[in-house]
Structure 1
Amino acid sequence: MTEEYPQELRGLLERIAPGWPELLEIGVGWYPLLAKLDATLSVIAPNYVVQQVKSKFGALSFYADSSDDPSHFDQAFTDAVRAAEWESTETCEVCGAPARQYVIRMWVSTLCHPHAIEAREDAVDTDLPPSAA
Structure 2
Amino acid sequence: MSPEKSAFLRERHPLIFSATKQSHPHAPFSYWGLQCGDGWAGLLDDLCRQLQCETAENGAPQVVALQVKEKFGAIRFYAADLAARQRNLVQAAEAASKTTCETCGAPGALIDGLWVKTRCTAHAAD
CA distance in 1, matches of 2:116, 2:10: 25
Q: CA RMSD in A?
A: 2.1
TM-superposed CA distance for 1:15, in Å, is 4.7
Partner residue of 1:18 out of 24, 33, 50: 24
Please name the residue that 2:67 is paired with: 52
More displaced stretch, 20-29 vs 51-60: 20-29
CA distance in 1, matches of 2:78, 2:38: 18
Name the SS of the counterpart of 1:14 in structure 2: coil
Q: 2:37 maps to what in 1?
A: 27
Aligned-partner residue type, residue 18 of structure 1 = H
Q: Which residue does 2:99 correspond to in 1?
A: 90
Paired residue for 1:69? Answer: none
Provide TM-score, normalisation by structure 2.
0.77
Q: Which amino acid aligns with 1:81?
A: V
Match of 1:7 in 2: 8
Deviations 1:25-82 (A, max 9, x none): 000000111011011001113621211000000001110124xxxxxx5111010000
Contact 1:50 1:63 in 2 (8 A): yes
Using CA pairs under 8 Å that are at least 6 residues apart, name the structure with larger relative contact order, 1 or 2. Answer: 2
Name the count of aligned residue pairs. 110
Name the TM-score, length of structure 1 as normaliser: 0.73
Gapped runs of 5+ residues in structure 1? 67-72, 120-133
Percentage identity across paired residues of the two chains? 36
1:36 equivalent in structure 2: 46
